[in-house]
A and B are shown apart, each in its own frame.
Chain A
Amino acid sequence: MSSPIVNDAARTALADVVVDVRNVHYAFGRRAIFSGLDIVARRGRITAFMGPSGTGKTTLLRLITGQIAPTEGSITVFGQDVTSLRQRELFGLRRRMGMLFQNGALLTDLSVFENVAFPLREHTRLPESLIRQLVLTKLHAVGLRGAANLMPAELSGGMSRRVALARAIVMDPEVLIYDEPFVGLDPISMGVIVRLIRQMNEALGITSIVVSHDVEELAAIAHESFLLSQGKVVASGTPAQLRASNLEVVRQFMEGIADGPVPFHYPAPDYFDQLLSRGPR
């Protein structure tokens, strides 16, 4: 049911679109990051945003969560236009989303237990005994119930990310957003995170959005992926469809070729001329 090309008719037909990004333009200073981006994420599925570093994948997440506003275009989450929301409404929307940051972003002055309990204490008036049960359940789900009393500084990178995941799901969000969840992990931790992302999706039915450039890991879990390059979606479809693509830019990314449509060299004057010239650099 995943069509590589998303047209307007298909969108309106699908009531299960959770995140809908249409014709989004965004510029940072004078540098254009997105020029006409179109993306959808559907309910109950794992959607991957892939692309080389510096294509604005993280910026896209900040746009979707309303941390920044696009210069043009619309972003709809749960049918609400993110760009027009006031802080109170935006916070209401964010309570239905969980986000896993690249480095975990655990609150360093709180223990693992208190980190996971933080959203509950802020948003609910649950009795302490229930909070304890909920926190321990979520920590158990990520395999770190035994680490409840550690401080974030005592955790490894993979453990921090798992604690952050427990914190992200403690309010039972409908959407979970993962920002580069595989970066800097050893193979075992990587496998654990891959398994957890799939479990969260299958067991809890959480709509998942994963931003990453790890082709192998994404291929194992994503239902649908979008490949971003130079401010646009250059290809979309299942990982298998992307793999079979003949587009040069897709092949370069999927197979990790050093030079191609994404050039190996940063723009520079002519090599020969520069070596022979007498400039200071």
Chain B
Amino acid sequence: MSAAAPVVDGPLVAMLRRVGAVGVFFIRVLAQCLPALARPRLVVHQIYNSGARSLIIIMLCGLFVGMVLGLQGHDLLARFGSEDALGVAAALGLLKELGPVVGSLLFAGRAGTALTSEIGLMKATDQLTAMQMMAVDPLRVVVAPRFLGGLIALPLLVAIFNVVGLFGAQLIGVQVMGVDTGAFWSQMQAAVELDDVAEGIIKSLVFGAACSLVAVYEGYHAAATAEGVGLATTRTVVNSSVLILVLDYMLTAAFL
């Protein structure tokens, strides 16, 4: 494998090669997910690591995104004299777009980088090789639990982001700008459909899978040096962010 003759690729071929490698890796990780779920302790630990430890940043950012929505939404709707629709605007904006996208971007920066550098350092210190020498597949005990942890944690974080965001929008819209409380909540209740909620949930699941996959892939394939781990961590943030936004467009187009 390492003795192969050097192949000269154009950038397009190199990119395709990379996408293919990630795809193959994805399948190998998926194949280890059931065995990993058989011992849920590791997965639960990773949900704690990726999820619980990202709670504060998710809640803080959710609050401010919601407050900005309250201000901007109020300003925009007031021009048409329909401030009462602020609840609907905030709810739909958060549920369908801002919650999944901003939540995932934060997740990539907070939890994704931690996953990449952790796996990369385990590789750099021979821990992954040691596992293989003990006849233990690191994909099963290291990679799959982390992938599953991210996949499960992100939708939960996005749900919390949305709740705190709505509180923020309400705080500014109703308490500060003076929108009627009853109108804010009742219009929201009347206008938001189950499909809107489902769209947000599906998006956050897809983004969770994408972020976690990128993070574990980059960590697992990091060059086993301090510099390599640093580069891999950077690539995790850049690649997951781009992937989230591209996937967001594709999913939105598919839902509308």
Taking Cβ atoms with an 8 Å cutoff, the residues of A that contact B are: 26-29, 65, 67-69, 71, 87, 91-92, 94-95, 97, 99, 101-103, 105-108, 118-119, 122-123, 167, 171
Please indicate the chain B residues that have their CB under 8 angstroms from the CB of A95 in the complex: 135
Please indicate the chain B residues that have their CB under 8 angstroms from the CB of A29 in the complex: 2-3, 6
Q: Determine how close the nearest CB of chain A comes to the CB of B31; give it in whole angstroms.
A: 12
Please indicate the chain A residues that have their CB under 8 angstroms from the CB of B52 in the complex: none
A101→B121 CA distance, assembly (Å)? 16
Q: Is the C-beta of B125 less than 8 angstroms from some C-beta in chain A?
A: yes
* Given known contacts A105-B126, A108-B122, A97 and B133 CB-to-CB distance under 8 angstroms: yes
Q: Is the C-beta of B256 less than 8 angstroms from some C-beta in chain A?
A: no
Residue of A nearest to B136 (CB): A122
Please indicate the chain A residues that have their CB under 8 angstroms from the CB of B1 in the complex: 68-69
For this complex, 17 residue pairs linking A to B, each with C-beta atoms less than 8 Å apart, are A26-B3, A65-B133, A67-B132, A69-B1, A87-B137, A91-B135, A92-B135, A94-B135, A101-B129, A105-B125, A105-B127, A105-B130, A106-B127, A107-B127, A108-B122, A123-B136, A167-B134
Interface residue total, chain B, C-beta cutoff 8 A: 19
A97→B130 CA distance, assembly (Å)? 12
Please indicate the chain B residues that have their CB under 8 angstroms from the CB of A108 in the complex: 121-122, 125, 127
A106→B125 CA distance, assembly (Å)? 9
Residue of B nearest to A88 (CB): B135
- Decide if B134 touches A94 in the complex (CB within 8 Å): yes
Please indicate the chain B residues that have their CB under 8 angstroms from the CB of A103 in the complex: 125-126
- Decide if B141 touches A122 in the complex (CB within 8 Å): yes
A161→B156 CA distance, assembly (Å)? 42
10 residue pairs, one from A and one from B, having the closest CB atoms = A105-B130, A105-B126, A91-B135, A94-B135, A99-B133, A95-B135, A119-B134, A122-B136, A101-B126, A27-B3
- Decide if A119 touches B127 in the complex (CB within 8 Å): no
Q: Determine how close the nearest CB of chain A comes to the CB of B179; give it in whole angstroms.
A: 49
Which residues of B (127-148) have their CB < 8 Å from a CB of A? Answer: 127, 129-137, 141
Please indicate the chain A residues that have their CB under 8 angstroms from the CB of B122 in the complex: 107-108
Residue of B nearest to A25 (CB): B3
Residue of A nearest to B6 (CB): A29
Please indicate the chain A residues that have their CB under 8 angstroms from the CB of B132 in the complex: 67, 94
Please indicate the chain A residues that have their CB under 8 angstroms from the CB of B126 in the complex: 101-103, 105
- Decide if A67 touches B129 in the complex (CB within 8 Å): yes
A87→B138 CA distance, assembly (Å)? 13
- Decide if B2 touches A68 in the complex (CB within 8 Å): yes
- Decide if B130 touches A71 in the complex (CB within 8 Å): no
* Given known contacts A28-B2, A71-B3, A122-B141, A94 and B127 CB-to-CB distance under 8 angstroms: no
Please indicate the chain B residues that have their CB under 8 angstroms from the CB of A92 in the complex: 135
Q: Determine how close the nearest CB of chain A comes to the CB of B98; give it in whole angstroms.
A: 34
Q: Determine how close the nearest CB of chain A comes to the CB of B215; give it in whole angstroms.
A: 17
Please indicate the chain B residues that have their CB under 8 angstroms from the CB of A69 in the complex: 1
Please indicate the chain A residues that have their CB under 8 angstroms from the CB of B135 in the complex: 91-92, 94-95, 119, 122-123
A91→B133 CA distance, assembly (Å)? 8
Please indicate the chain B residues that have their CB under 8 angstroms from the CB of A106 in the complex: 127, 130
A87→B31 CA distance, assembly (Å)? 14
A92→B137 CA distance, assembly (Å)? 12
Residue of A nearest to B49 (CB): A109
Please indicate the chain B residues that have their CB under 8 angstroms from the CB of A28 in the complex: 2-3
A68→B129 CA distance, assembly (Å)? 12
A26→B3 CA distance, assembly (Å)? 8
Q: Told that A68-B2, A71-B3, A105-B126 touch, could you supply 20 new A-B pairs with CB distance under 8 A?
A: A27-B3, A28-B3, A67-B133, A68-B1, A69-B1, A87-B137, A94-B132, A94-B135, A99-B130, A101-B130, A102-B126, A106-B127, A106-B130, A107-B127, A108-B121, A108-B125, A108-B127, A122-B134, A122-B141, A123-B136
Please indicate the chain B residues that have their CB under 8 angstroms from the CB of A71 in the complex: 3
Residue of A nearest to B126 (CB): A105
A29→B3 CA distance, assembly (Å)? 5
